[in-house]
Amino acid sequence: MAYSDKVVDHYNNPRNVGSFGKETPGVGTGLVGAPECGDVMKLQIRVNLDTGVIEDAKFKTFGCGSAIASSSLATEWLKGKTVDEAAKIKNTDIVNELRLPPVKIHCSVLAEDAIRAALADYRDRYADKLDGAGAPVASA
């Protein structure tokens, strides 16, 4: 199958591969899989607990080229966004950016799932420090 240049680029030079240490503060982790093909993906965000901005993101994907490219792109997009802004990233954005063909749409869905799972995990872990929207509560 012909991959777009952007997929090939992300596949050959994946950005932000890796994971954060267990003790790193502000981390949310999403681990998801695609039952269609059995591929698995881990995506992590590291949020600045004072500003609520995602400062760093990492991923590890054991899957097809499109899944690797989708998660690599997702980590690039996540950096610099607030948790709320990050929640608006849609798999269709990824499909458009990478020009994924219909059979590879589930790979982008996997990346969206991973983002959501990472955000949910972050909110969960730091629930006591956050207001409803996921931003840090200003300490008076």
Partner 1 sequence: MNHFEVFGLPRKLGIDTAELQRTFYELSRILHPDFHQGAPPAEQASALEASARLNAAYRTLRDPIARVEYLVRLEEGRATREGAAATREAPPELLAEMFEIQEALAEAKAGGLDADGRRRLAAERDRLLARHREEELRLAGPLSAAWDAGDAGERPRLLDACKRALATRAYLGTVVEDLTEALGESQEGHVTHRRH
| Residues at the site binding ligand FES, with contacts judged by CB under 6 A | 34, 36-37, 39, 63-64, 66-67, 104, 106-107, 110
Stretch that binds partner 1, among 46-54, 62-70, 72-80, 85-93 (CB under 8 A): 62-70
What is the number of alpha carbons within 13 Å of residue 104 lying toward its C-beta? 20
Q: Which of 54, 94, 107, 118 is catalytic?
A: 107
SS3 assignment, position 46: strand
**What binding mask, one character per residue, do residues 18-37 give for partner 1 by CB under 8 A, x or -?**
-------------xxx-xxx
Tell me the C-alpha distance between 95 and 118, whole Å. 20
CA distance 3 to 116: 26
Q: Is 107 an annotated catalytic residue?
A: yes
Nearest to 40 by CA among 116, 120, 107: 107
Contacting partner 1 (CB under 8 A), which of 65, 83, 86, 108? Answer: 65
- Write the burial class of residue 71 (CB in 10 Å: 0-12 exposed, 13-18 middle, 19+ buried): buried
Determine whether 37 is an active site residue: yes
123 contact, one of partner 1, ligand FES, none, CB 5-8 Å limit per kind: none
Q: How far is the CB of 115 from ligand FES (least distance, A)?
A: 15
Catalytic residues: 37, 107
